[in-house]
Structure 1
């Protein structure tokens, strides 16, 4: 099963829309995982229409309309992988041990908030942050991730760098 990982899209606050490459990846994915900070529910509506499946949460920039529709934590078993999605995990120092203690039953945790790509493992828990496809902040590129789940394992994790940052008005 092919997954597309997104977070911190901030549409239309940071960009009018997702980059074309991301929309192409939505069409190629079996499951879109979004770790929050949508900003407006219209993007959620559009992704739900186009995605084959979706697992998503709200973030700290998401108001009541999104919080009514999405949980703070979403979990699912996908291809034998116990997957969780949350927006914020706190400071990077000690993150792996904190998340392992907080989510002892997960194999994979997708998170956002920092806009900084992250890929680590700790005591059987893989932690992934896809960065942001629209707001690179201090990063050299806007990013998103894809991966494949097969027989209870995570394979082919790829960080995709977008050619140029998507700026509002472009």
Structure 2
């Protein structure tokens, strides 16, 4: 796989767009980029419908994100903060949680949940953005205690879109 802004994926004209980020030690809060609030790489995704375009920014990873540290052998919550901005000419309406996936270091894939977390406000279960509109919030993942987050992915159409944003966390 070639690293960069666009790598091969099924179908012509579509692909995985990659932004490389750093992962802090396990069970630590990761602020990406410079500044107090952190900022990460923005990836532009084209939708299947004319005028559908969304800029997605992974701004923060919080691990653990639950009310208390995970007990030995218990699952833990990991939260990722995403900023969605409609840069297209058509309205964006989707469910962001199932559109997000977290991959661990062994390749297991976890689908996002729209649930409360200690990290901050969740993205709503359904988001509708007019052109120029934006929304920011957390998507939560339930991982086994031993799982090490390795990457985050996001695609339009509840995660089924051909154009996929990919942020490496290692």
Structure having the larger proportion of residues in helix = 1
Please identify the structure whose Cα radius of gyration is greater.
2
Normalising by structure 2, report the TM-score: 0.28
Normalising by structure 1, report the TM-score: 0.28
Structure having the larger proportion of residues in strand = 2
